[in-house]
Chain A
């Protein structure tokens, strides 16, 4: 824990140092200061759900200027031909306002030679095609990357550690091989209390094929979760010692599903983008394996097609997120089969809170989005987008549930209307 705290602190200091150097030396050739901004208005039409663009953000109901609005600030500092540093912060509507949730990049890079480069600090996991610039709305046709793949990217979108890359020259472009090792952390808020978990022994491997008209990307991430902390955790850790013997097996099952310490997660993703002057085709697929009930195994993906017409780019996207585990904290069917009825009812009551937490985080949905981007100037663009979500039973985990309500049990449809202004500077 001390080592991970030291790494995080060092990364944050690097970011702040780099940013401060950028502010003070913005005009120098060795320093540069840049940024990007999205100003968005969204309207969501559910009486049960509140829209958010990331699992780390607050849910907002009805009409709101907050969910898609953000500012990104970046400073680059070039020490010499071999060393440079990058710091980037993202100011967005985070549920948990820990500083670490706002620092996206904070690293020093060593360019050893033409092919090899090394980084230390905080950098992108590059888990998907757009992970490393998913916040820069101006560079995307859509208002935001598909939630089905990118809402959860904030949890593992970056990491603290060491990174190495080798870029190979090929006739049609380049192939970049990357590997990294380190750790990341998830910091969120639940029921007024902080929820944290560390992703330790985090390893990532990436291969990216780049040509002028297309790029193809593959990634593999694996980590071991540890140091899970949440409100009422002590009660959960000791639950098997507090309940009558008849409930002990189920208490252990609940504890095993809710506390992820020591459990491994794995991501595998493939994606490609093919761009011509006449159209832009993007497709990605991800397979996530995890034994933690609050972040259960799932498969997700999308296909997106855009057709630029001068400065207008209409687009359409179809996406899916299929959970691979049912949202239950324990196997209630099995419990009902082995317990007397009164005991089963007691078990249901004891586990209700934990079960609602699992259901609240469970995700199962498909979506279709249509929209248009207008690059009305070189520095600004405006986008309009409509997202239609078909959500499965207890599958609304991408969104918040409005206060006082339980996670919707039934299937439901949910629409979000977005208008977004974007710029870079």
Chain B
């Protein structure tokens, strides 16, 4: 599945969001990679980052990592297993639905997630958009 083919119109566009009150206003692609590839556990401004993943096999998850680092979901799973079993980091929290992501972002000021543009609510703040 081509990541950009997944985003057939603007409502499908993947955006990265944080809690509305987060002190993070914007992230570069490099800074987003640092968080979702486990290199850093904090945002650039030092506040804690809690990344959230869609469930395994979801189109959003596949598209996200293809757009982010050009890797398949299987390679990403292997990468995170390496970090887990070496004791370096734990995997991002898993969400099984848009509702779960929205709930997590409402309740957790440190949460960061990727979501379709159509599902962004006014409690969220967009910090990165994929073309």
Q: Name A's B-contacting residues (CB within 8 A).
A: 29, 32, 34, 36, 72, 74, 76, 78, 81, 84, 86, 88, 105, 107, 111, 113-114, 123-124, 132-133, 136, 138-139, 167, 169, 171, 173-174, 210, 212, 375, 378, 424
A124 touches B93 (CB 8 A): no
- Asked if A72 meets B46 with Cβ closer than 8 Å, knowing A171-B30, A173-B39, the reply is no
A34–B86 CA distance with the chains assembled, in angstroms: 12
Return chain A residues, CB-CB under 8 Å to B70: 212
Q: Which residues of B contact A174 (CB under 8 A)?
A: 34, 39-40
Q: In chain B, residues 41-83, which have Cβ atoms closer than 8 Å to a Cβ of chain A? A: 41-44, 46, 48, 56, 69-71, 74, 77-78, 81-82
Q: Does B37 contact A (CB under 8 A)?
A: yes
Number of interface residues of B (CB under 8 A): 29
CA distance A136 to B84 in the complex (A): 11
Whether A169 contacts B34 by the Cβ 8 Å rule is yes
Question: In the docked arrangement, what's the CA distance between A191 and B90, Å?
Answer: 42
Residues in B whose Cβ lies below 8 Å from that of A76: 84, 90
A111 closest partner in B (C-beta): B41
Contact B93–A29 (Cβ < 8 Å): yes
B33 sits at the interface (CB 8 A): yes
Q: Which residue of A lies closest to B30 (CB)?
A: A171
Output the nearest chain B residue to A114 by Cβ-Cβ distance. Answer: B42
Indicate if B110 sits at the interface (CB-CB under 8 A).
yes
Closest 10 CB pairs of A and B: A132-B86, A114-B42, A81-B48, A86-B87, A174-B39, A133-B86, A136-B85, A133-B85, A105-B87, A212-B69
A72 and B85 in contact (CB under 8 A), knowing A32-B90, A173-B39, A174-B34?
A: yes
Contact A212 B33 (CB under 8 A): yes
B34 and A88 contact, CB distance less than 8 A: no
Please report the C-alpha to C-alpha distance between residue A139 and residue B79 in the assembled complex, in whole angstroms.
8
Bound-state CA distance A167–B42 (Å) is 12
